[in-house]
Copies of this chain bind each other. A is one copy, B any other.
Amino acid sequence: MKITLKHLAEHLGAALEGGGADSTVERLASLADAKEGDLSFLANPKYAEQLATTKATAAIVGKDCKPAPLPLLRVDNPDLAFAKASLLVCPPPAPPAPGVHPSAVVSPSAKIGRGVSIGACAVVDDGAVLGDGCVLFPQVYVGKDSALGDGCLLYSGVKVYHQVTIGRGCIFHSGAVIGSDGFGYAWTGNGYFKIPQVGTVVIEDGVELGANVCVDRARFGETRIGAGTKLDNLVQIAHNVKLGKCCAFAAQVGIAGSAEVGNGVQMGGQAAIVGHVKVGDGLTVVGQSAISKSVPGREAGAPADKLIWIDSPAKPMREHLEESRNIKHLARLRKTVKELEERIKKLETD
């Protein structure tokens, strides 16, 4: 869609610098790849020098960005402004129209809200509730007595088990599984006896689950994901885990059973938290690291340098850096000790 820079600046509340008010943009691109007609942006200072050479028609930049030889839309938060510009310039495809595909199987006892779209071969089981405006792509399954809030979007192949509660405006990507049994067995002496997993899952408003994410139901009580939390693909949330609000976990993260995670916790890819520990607000866990004990966060006044954890088992970043320096220094240390040994020998024989 062709949008003038003037319109864009108004829409974003941006200051337009370097002219071009009537120029139009109609696509999005990175600074490096952009061509005439593309809108680009600078959020990561690593790419700042690309402003000098980009072919973009205009770029959204932050308050502290230097002037550049193309029209700039200056804002407080370039990431956010570019996201909003995206919706204007390149709106995502419209969701499927409301209605139930004839091949879908919807139980007569399910309660379907207004404006709901249910795709081909989707199945909605007895007693399930779909809030207004929900969209189920083809081949979704919603189990018995589960309830989705208004405006949820479930992509093809999402599987929701029975008696699960989902808030409003959630987005679940293909292959996500919500409500599978927690991993629990009692050892009988010659085999595992399955511990019934009779609890549930509660997912609060505005949660997004990536493709093939797994969220297990609780042994009893509930597994809960706080409002606004975002989980990338292939993340594992075990039974009875509690995640706070506005957490963001990268792909392949694993949270073990009964862990309690505060608000605003961020985890890098393949990081983990062991079972039965508490992780405080605002903690960052570096990729591939593993929190192995309870760690307080902002709620307990943890200082900034205790908020980034790394390694398996994880420690504060500062301790890790010191340890790494010491290990790097080891070769020299061995050499020094060897030399000291020689000098002592000499002193002894003198």
Check if A123 sits within 8 Å of B141, measured CB to CB.
no
Min CB distance A318 to B, Å, is: 13
Partner of A156, one of B101, B159, B163: B159
Interface contact A330-B327, CB-CB below 8 Å? yes
What is the count of identical protomers in the complex? Answer: 3
- The answer to whether B173 touches A246, judged by C-beta atoms less than 8 angstroms apart, is no
Q: Which of A185-238 contact B (CB under 8 A)?
A: 185-188, 191-198, 206, 208, 210-212, 214, 216, 219-221, 228, 230, 232-234, 236, 238
Return the contact of A211 from the options B44, B177, B256 (Cβ within 8 A). B177
User: 17 A-B Cβ contacts within 8 A?
Assistant: A29-B220, A120-B123, A121-B139, A123-B138, A139-B157, A141-B157, A173-B177, A173-B180, A175-B212, A181-B208, A185-B248, A250-B256, A254-B269, A269-B274, A288-B290, A340-B344, A344-B347
A interface, over-half SS: loop
| Segment of A11-19, A63-71, A80-88, A299-307 engaged in the interface with chain B | A80-88
Kindly supply a per-residue 1/0 record for chain A positions 92-110, scoring 1 wherever the CB is within 8 Å of any chain B CB and 0 otherwise.
Answer: 1100000001010100000
A276 in the interface (beta carbon within 8 A): yes
Interface size on A, residues (CB 8 A): 113
A87 to B195, CA, bound (A): 9
In the complex, A23 has a CB within 8 A of chain B: no
Select one of B84, B93, B175, B216 contacting A159, CB under 8 A. B175
Give Cα distance in the complex from A263 to B135, angstroms: 40
- Tell me if A174 is interfacial: C-beta within 8 Å of chain B: yes
Chain B contacts for A195, CB-based, 8 A: 79, 82-83, 86
Of B143, B185, B272, the contact of A287 (CB 8 Å cutoff): B272
Instruction: Tell me which of B157, B186, B287, B328 contacts A274 (CB under 8 A).
Output: B287
A317 to B216, CA, bound (A): 30
With A and B bound together, what is the CA distance between A161 and B159 in angstroms? 17
